[in-house]
Structure 1
């Protein structure tokens, strides 16, 4: 959810972090008794009374203000239990990574923060975040409380996680039941060929088959990752070197941009969508389908009822595909992390323990329509609705984590805007070809730092 100018600032900040090799333990912190190593035992609630910690939360609801209202009610519970006050700031996705990277270079960050789980390995590489070793996990009840998929997206393989799972999500294909019935389509598509064919039937009278968030870099990355994975390709090789210009990667990007370019099943205006306009179009009947993560509360805010739509896994290239060819979503979600430089480490750990407690996981994920990554909370009947059961099944069976490599955030900040520019070309009536896609990806790859 980044503009081009934001992407430039993010790249600069990321490059600075990489170049300086900064860690927050070196540029922040202090000698407070509370600033102990990750193996410290959790402090008794009474000993934390009077402390204040700062929490940067990601935007999960319909607006920043809505999130402030939702979270303040929950944070007040924590304050009542622990005596620790929480200074909350909700940050939009267009600014969050930029703010985090700036904090890693200045040492002036929050005590606790949310990160998109796709950034875990990149931020882990800076040394800015407290590693969650077994001793740290013991302060919040243990690592085995969390689902395997969510832990796999919390940092690079073979290293202690850089964060703790907070909200889990997966992509599904949302479809409007009435629009499908009116078009004579009996069942939702299971392959991309079927989706395009259905989309053409549904594109009529100012309505479109599908809505896409073409100017949203993160959304672009998530979808082209899946489309490449279905072709057996990754965006980095085993050594962490980018492989953006491979034929499968080119085909993946072209397939996605072709929803506007050649298939014409998405509106040209979708090339400018950057902040959840896709949900609005779907919920108001302008588009019959969308690919989205855990969207029920946002859809409901527009007056659309759960019985008006269905959710199924995102299509694959061929019916019944398995393995990489059967991947239908990246492992989506939000992790909660502690800055290494915090002067209130025990209070920060107590806060993470509260946010990942079973009761709080039920409360927060229930309000946001996401899936609790805590196993005990996930089994609650409230998370067994038809849409969440489908998305939970995707997480368990057909989701894969984005590359957990140090340069993942640069991948997002370069390839995401490259796809955005191709969508803009398509909307302007310019031809989008294999050559033009490869050229855009080549330019992105040339700007990647050495692995």
Structure 2
């Protein structure tokens, strides 16, 4: 087994203790377990409607890589609720893959463990150079000023997806640009017997992505300029309260969504049960569930006032998937070849088309597939009105603690318990107390 230096343990212990759905140790068939130059183990994140969808997308490409290089890639698609804890466990135990996907928001936290290969100039040169990648995507690969902990693989942004027929039946001409408009439209939609907005209240990652955007729209930050947690400041409290109030007060998110964990809100939207969905690059997911792209429209996520997407108001986090290599892999050459393959122009076009994401490799963006209606909205959002989550070492713990606090607040709202500013503050203070001491 590969050994990860002990310094990693302190950085990740808290996240392991707090993870809502930890999976125990990493894969016992990790890349370091066979010491074979003819094989690699790859943990891919669940990008499609389900794990089997991802296998169907990825396996032909892995077979192509094997044909080109003679290196067999052993694939495991890891669901999002499990992925972070699987990675953290692998970082401390040495039982993990050679190559893995990470959410780009985790880059700084995983970089702090020392377990991932730094992408210095020499390593970037092996895959064609750093300047092949879009600057915004590189901005979420680790702490500024340090060699990145990963390279960009897929770029994503949030958008508002809306059912055209439900809107027409309710007499609504177009998508809402502000939250007040969304709530007002919701009343018209409910009058026609339909649910309004899907959410995943038990999905910790989704929770943190949305409350981060609400916080930016309120002008709040969850960390001070020095990188210290400041979760319960009045403006952040107001932002979290506004998001949870979409269920608790405004009644546009169904109470049952408090228990939704992964992809259930997408399924509801695809089946016409809800009129709207806030999601990262949902088109491929919706198509896989039988929804025709003509049945829905795509618009920027609403803001508090004004028009979203104009460069002055944040309506998405800079979302995306990065590709990382465990530093102590016993097949570094093969792992580097695999990263080069996955970030090559041909594969970038194939994979990002399959997932309706945006290639972070500049030269791959010229393909007409990335100028479609949906991708035009997403690319504009990434360029004009998206912000990266905090690139601090404690970011993954922030996601876990605050995301869990929001999960508990949604549970309170669904049960009819009051979600007041004091209740929100208490949850955020508890989350802050669970963060590691600096």
Bigger shift: residues 389-398 or 104-113: 104-113
Residue aligned with 2:218, SS: coil
Alignment of 1:176 with 2:179, yes or no, is no
Q: Compared with structure 1, are the counterparts of its residues 246 and 263 closer, same or farther at alpha carbon in structure 2 (3 Å cutoff)?
A: same
Alignment of 1:251 with 2:242, yes or no, is no
- Give 1:322 deviation, angstroms: 8.0
Summarize the alignment of residues 317-356 of structure 1 with structure 2, pairs less than 5 Å apart.
317-320=304-307, 326-356=313-343
Query: Of 58, 67, 76, which aligns to 2:54?
Result: 67
Residue aligned with 2:76, SS: strand
Residue aligned with 1:260, SS: helix
Alignment of 1:149 with 2:136, yes or no, is yes
Give distance in 1, aligned partners of 2:105 and 2:76: 21
Aligned partner of 1:13 in structure 2 is 16
Aligned partner of 1:110 in structure 2 is 97
Q: Compared with structure 1, are the counterparts of its residues 323 and 403 closer, same or farther at alpha carbon in structure 2 (3 Å cutoff)?
A: farther
Summarize the alignment of residues 200-211 of structure 1 with structure 2, pairs less than 5 Å apart.
200-204=187-191, 206-211=193-198
Give distance in 1, aligned partners of 2:53 and 2:13: 26
Aligned partner of 1:365 in structure 2 is 352
Structure 1 contact 55–110 (Cα < 8 Å) conserved = yes
Give distance in 1, aligned partners of 2:292 and 2:50: 20
Query: Of 128, 142, 153, which aligns to 1:166?
Result: 153
Structure 1 contact 169–333 (Cα < 8 Å) conserved = yes
Summarize the alignment of residues 50-449 of structure 1 with structure 2, pairs less than 5 Å apart.
51-204=38-191, 206-320=193-307, 326-449=313-436
Residue aligned with 1:326, SS: coil
- Give 1:295 deviation, angstroms: 0.7
CA deviations on 1:287-319 (whole Å, 9 max, x unpaired) are: 111110111111112322111111111111110
Structure 1 contact 10–97 (Cα < 8 Å) conserved = no
Structure 1 contact 112–336 (Cα < 8 Å) conserved = yes
- Give 1:124 deviation, angstroms: 0.2
Residue aligned with 2:246, SS: coil
Give distance in 1, aligned partners of 2:190 and 2:251: 8
- Give 1:198 deviation, angstroms: 1.0
- Give 1:13 deviation, angstroms: 3.0
Aligned partner of 2:23 in structure 1 is none
Residue aligned with 1:235, SS: coil
Query: Any stretches of 5+ residues in structure 2 without a counterpart?
Result: 1-11, 19-30
- Give 1:58 deviation, angstroms: 0.8
- Give 1:176 deviation, angstroms: 1.0
Q: TM-score, normalised by structure 2?
A: 0.91
Aligned partner of 1:44 in structure 2 is none
CA RMSD of aligned residues (A): 2.0
Give distance in 2, aligned partners of 1:237 and 1:200: 39
Residue aligned with 1:259, SS: helix
Structure 1 contact 64–91 (Cα < 8 Å) conserved = yes
- Give 1:284 deviation, angstroms: 1.3
Q: Compared with structure 1, are the counterparts of its residues 361 and 324 closer, same or farther at alpha carbon in structure 2 (3 Å cutoff)?
A: closer
Q: TM-score, normalised by structure 1?
A: 0.89
Q: How many residues align?
A: 415
Give distance in 2, aligned partners of 1:388 and 1:323: 17
CA deviations on 1:332-384 (whole Å, 9 max, x unpaired) are: 11000010101111111000000000000001111111111111111200111
Q: Compared with structure 1, are the counterparts of its residues 324 and 444 closer, same or farther at alpha carbon in structure 2 (3 Å cutoff)?
A: farther
Aligned partner of 2:4 in structure 1 is none
Q: Compared with structure 1, are the counterparts of its residues 243 and 87 closer, same or farther at alpha carbon in structure 2 (3 Å cutoff)?
A: same
Give distance in 2, aligned partners of 1:322 and 1:345: 41
Give distance in 1, aligned partners of 2:104 and 2:283: 21
- Give 1:272 deviation, angstroms: 0.6
Residue aligned with 1:88, SS: strand
Residue aligned with 1:421, SS: helix
Give distance in 2, aligned partners of 1:51 and 1:449: 40
Residue aligned with 2:347, SS: helix
Give distance in 2, aligned partners of 1:270 and 1:107: 37
Structure 1 contact 128–339 (Cα < 8 Å) conserved = yes
Runs of 4+ in 1 over 6 A off after TM superposition: 321-324
